Structure 1
């Protein structure tokens, strides 16, 4: 979510999921006035992109922490970032509607799009031919990147969408909308296929199950709902927690979810990242340290669990052992 802010990354090797102690392994120093506002981590686990206060998007290697590239949206602040599923594209949205997509790791600009208003969220389809753009207070757009045009506007008319996700098979696109509904579309056309109307509060994070049949949704109700993507019905819900769900990431094998939480009273307050066992709907690991405020993360293709933590003007790389 673009309204969350972060400045550090935590690496938890999959073989060490029972670990409880996190320690910083490396600190990346950013230039004066370039505090990292929030990040996106490549699913390949080889790089982290930081949206910096000076308007630059900086990309560092992982785990080495070397600066690889620096991009900008010219006169706009970065409001959203996401990597493609294979880590070969980085999409960045701005507060006045600019959307640029760079090839990774070369840094070549591939697409330059105008969305018109602040970009709340972005999602790239698995084959990288489609881009969904959530626009503030306006319907989300579905773009065909091969021809550079809008296929359609999604039908959520009230205040737009807060989160977007494509299914792993590329057949479906889901939007978590400001009217509290979650809508599922045919990805290629934007035709609506199902609507979940049973959630009473806003959803801030969505991701599909590994088989593309279900949708995991978390938000202001402080739980994770499992929704049947074919009909929009809630199948079950994970145990409710004390904090709001801000982000969700599914493991490549479909067995785990990383849920990043935040305190609605203040984003600066400490909050955990929880690794959930999907089948048992049970907490596998609760990742928290004093002062840590997770703000993004995921599970990479090689099984590493990542989560991010705000530390001010420096980007810290953490490991859990």
Structure 2
């Protein structure tokens, strides 16, 4: 028997999605919504060379813009802000090349970085209380990176470059001097990079695939479900009518026959699709015995939205 903790699950979108307004694309002129990733038809393929070309332009432009803006922000020099935080390099690769990855979408790219900056600064300030900070900051860096990863996973904002942000906030001497000011620095950089991504990536491709979640924000977890023949069979069961009359007997027999037919059909479907993952427009059906990580689920959901 599997340990009880193997059945523990937490999905923050179950609580957040009903509070998030649906995308406003139907209320925005299409030429404007186009540059925010909205498409009326499925985007055409561009081969593999053009994405590399646009990624080169996007990474170059975004990094250069973040550095240029940083050099002209008057409050940066007094707070010892570096030319650019190193984690933006990895973020640029995701947001301009792997643009269909759930890890590159705005929710992850911005929220993940901000969460990690907060955790990194907090851990750094905590360890700075020690007189032996230089001797133990390696431990603080590990704690910050691990804590940021856990928090991003819980909030569905996993963004690998953000792990570096949390780590650098503790072990990089320059960022230690920046302190809490690192949070607005990261927020500004993420906003500039997102603006560049919307411009470059939507010339021939589509970005983002979604802004918050590939699921219907009005109905949490409405897209992703697992196949369960027993559950479906129970849902199709009808309560028998009173068997005291002939009409009741006829209804009861009819219900029994209908349920038997439904169960037979479900058994056939389960036999055919026992090991299949079914992707339909707006829906993903996964067998109960198949385990998927959060990122894999989001990837399948992204595909279903594009069908």
Q: TM-score, normalised by structure 1?
A: 0.22
When Rg is computed on C-alpha atoms for both structures, the one with the higher figure is 2
Q: Which has the higher contact order (CA 8 A, sep 6+)?
A: 2
More strand by share: 1
Q: TM-score, normalised by structure 2?
A: 0.22
